[in-house]
Amino acid sequence: MISASLLGSGWQGLLATHTECDFGARLGNVSAWAATFFLTAPFLGSVTGSWVVWDNVSSGTQTVRDTNFTVASGNVTGWLVAPFNWTIFAVNNQTDRGSGPSQPCPSSMEALVSSPAVDGGTTWTPIASNVTSSVGLPQEFNATRLCLIDSYPFNNPTCASTTTFELDYTSPAGVVDTCGQSKPTVLPQEAQATKSLVPFEHDGIASQVPVNPTYFYDLPAPDGMYPGPPTIGTAGATGWFNYTFPEDGGIWDYSYGQSLLGANAGPAFSYAPCPA
C-alpha cells in the first residue's frame, strides 16, 4: 500500500473533491416585482454614480443597459424595478472531482430571471426616506402602488407578486467622520450583493426562493421564432458609486449586505451627529 504522503500533491489533487450546485427540473414560473439594485444615500449627504447591466443570450448576442443616478439625503431607492418573469428550478448538490471551493445550494430551489419580463415597470421607486440607520428598513415593495405603474396590469390582469429583500446590514466595514473638517468627504464604492427572494408555491407549499444573480433563463419567443429548448444564459451587473458627506456634518458607520444572492446594493449608513 502506498501512503498518501508518497503520492505527492499531484495525486492528492486528482483525489480531491468539491461540492457544486446543479440545476435540476424546471418547476414553474412566477411574475414578481424586483429591483436590479438598491441604493441608500447617507443622511445629510448624497450619492451619484452609474450602473451597467448585461446579459448573454443563447444566440451569443449581448445586451447592455446603463443607468446614471443621484439619490439625496437619507433616501433608500430601488432602481430598474419591474415585474420580472422568474423561472423556478429544483437544485441539488453534486460532488465533483478536482480541487476547488465548495459551493453548496442555498436551498432546494433557485429562481432565475426569464427574458422577456412581463409588461410594466419603472426606472426607480422610493423605499424609505430620512433614514439615519439601516435597522428596520422595509423588506418588500408596495405591491399596490407598483401595480398601477405605467400600463400594468392592463395587459395582464393578474398583478405580480413582490420579491422579498434584506437591506438590514451587519458587521461595520468602515467609518466616515467629517467633524471639524472644512470640506466634504467623498467615498468611492462598488456594488455589493444583497439577498433577494421570490415567492413560489410548489406541491401546495409556499416558499421564498433565493434568486441566482449570475444566470437567467432564455425562453423561446412565443411565436416560435427561436425554436428549440430553453437555455440558461449568463448575466451580470456592475455599479460605481460616489458618496458625499458634508463638512463638519457628523459620523457615519457603513456596512454591506448579508448575502451573495440576488439584487445588488451600495453600503448602508448609520448616522451620529458630531460630539458637542
Determine, yes or no, domain membership for 97.
yes
Sole residue written with cell 448573454: 56
pLDDT, one tens digit per residue, over 155-194 is: 554 577 888 887 776 667 889 999 999 999 999 987 776 7
Is pTM beyond 0.95 here? no
Contact 176, 20 (CB under 8 A): no
H/E element, 242: strand 231-245
Number of separate domains in the chain:
1
Choose among 189, 172, 190, 176: nearest CA to 135: 172
Q: How confident is the model at residue 142 (pLDDT cuts 50, 70, 90)?
A: confident
pLDDT at 44 (0 to 100): 95
Q: How confident is the model at residue 59 (pLDDT cuts 50, 70, 90)?
A: low
Query: What's the rounded mean pLDDT across residues 87-109?
Result: 83
pLDDT at 228 (0 to 100): 44
Separation of CA 111 from chain center:
12
Q: Residue 87 is part of which domain span?
A: 20-264
Determine, yes or no, domain membership for 76.
yes
pLDDT, one tens digit per residue, over 200-233 is: 988 888 888 988 777 777 665 444 443 345 567 7
Determine, yes or no, domain membership for 32.
yes
Question: What does DSSP say about strands 76-97 and 17-40: parallel, antiparallel, or unpaired?
Answer: antiparallel
Determine, yes or no, domain membership for 274.
no
